Homo-oligomer: A and B are copies of this chain.
């Protein structure tokens, strides 16, 4: 088996095909120079917690981990820049695992013009990918505490689609024709970078849907000191989404509200802030938390979503 430093050398070769920063992989630190405010986040993807390796290839997994981290940049309206990758691998992992993971990362960095500027390889009982993503502000950053009463609420994509795919995989039904599109949504999310950037100086708040509309919406409501009123009938759905949820014995609306890992964006602002890539699903009202209008009745929504220490 190849040792740590040979593996790092191979990664440097793979990632070095991109333009290098002032000083990139191979020294103690990367050195970067950009006069714009730095926007930075870190996100972890852990085997047995965030994924099961029977559900996803190494390439998709690595791409997914980067998209999830970049999604945080998108939610702030930042331009994606550089990545640092801290990976842990079981000691017996074959060399191809590292190469496959690297190719998954390259798929995203090439699309977004990002660079891998550093990282860390370590042994561990399970595979885990911790991604530090750096972006640059192109204007005032979108925050979660800016929602104002009277704002409309908008989302990208189709919340709940990824959750259906995940539930299909968990039930061993990921190969069923009506479910494969949803499995792809879970396996291969796309960070909404352009959509986030389109909101800069226009929207009042934004957040990405990693833990579900209810959970992430409640963060916006709490930080902003107001309530989000969501109209369940306006939640956008892919063709066949409701049927797919029901085929799994699940409530499509509950999945759209509580299912996470879509990496779609939820934002608030004046209606003119949002173009055709967004669906308006409600408004910001006085109060607290997330309220849902469903079948003509309004009900408060528990901030249920994924929680690492109370879930399961």
Interface residues of A (CB under 8 A from B): 1-5, 7, 22-23, 26-35, 37-44, 46, 48-50, 71-73, 75-76, 78, 84-86, 88-89, 91, 93, 117-126, 128, 130, 132-135, 137, 141, 143-145, 207-208, 223, 307-310, 312
**Dominant SS among interface residues on chain A:** mixed
| Docked pose: A309 CA to B121 CA in angstroms | 9
A86 partner, pick from B34, B86, B91, B207, beta carbons under 8 A: B86
Distance in angstroms between the alpha carbons of A32 and B134 in the assembled complex: 11
Decide: B29 and A135 in contact? CB cutoff 8 A. yes
**Which of B124, B134, B144, B310 sits near A40, CB closer than 8 Å?**
B134
Known interface pairs A28-B72, A208-B28; A44-B78 also in contact (CB < 8 Å): no
CB pair B312 A91 closer than 8 Å: yes
**Whole-angstrom distance from the CB of A121 to the nearest CB of chain B?**
6
| Contact call A29/B73, Cβ cutoff below 8 A | yes
Report the minimum CB–CB distance from A309 to chain B (whole Å): 5
User: Does the CB pair B121–A86 fall under 8 Å?
Assistant: no
Q: A38 and B32: CB pair below 8 A? A: yes
Given A86-B42, A120-B43, is A207 in contact with B28 using a C-beta cutoff of 8 Å?
A: yes
Task: Give the Cβ gap from A217 to chain B, nearest Cβ, in Å.
Answer: 13
* B31 near A137: Cβ-Cβ < 8 Å: yes
Tell me, in angstroms, the Cα distance from A132 to B120 when the chains sit together.
10
Q: Which of A29, A31, A49, A310 has the most CB of B within 10 A?
A: A29
Cβ 8 A contact of A78, one of B3, B29, B50, B132: B29
Residues of B within 8 A of A38 (CB): 31-34, 38
Which residue from chain B places its CB closest to the CB of A1 in the assembled complex? Answer: B309
Task: Give A75's nearest chain B residue, CB to CB.
Answer: B28
19 CB contacts below 8 A, A to B, read A3-B307, A7-B309, A23-B143, A26-B223, A27-B76, A27-B141, A27-B144, A28-B73, A28-B76, A29-B75, A29-B78, A29-B141, A42-B119, A42-B130, A42-B132, A44-B122, A46-B88, A48-B124, A123-B309
Is the beta-carbon distance between A40 and B44 smaller than 8 angstroms? no
Q: Chain B contacts of A133 at CB under 8 A?
A: 29
| A37 to B22 CA separation, bound complex (whole angstroms) | 9
Q: Indicate which residue in B3, B40, B93 contacts A30 across the interface (CB closer than 8 Å).
A: B40
**CB-CB < 8 A to A49: which residues of B?**
122-124
Q: Known contacts being A307-B4, A310-B4, is A29 close to B44, with CB within 8 Å?
A: no
Choose among B31, B43, B145 the residue that contacts A39 (Cβ–Cβ < 8 A). B31
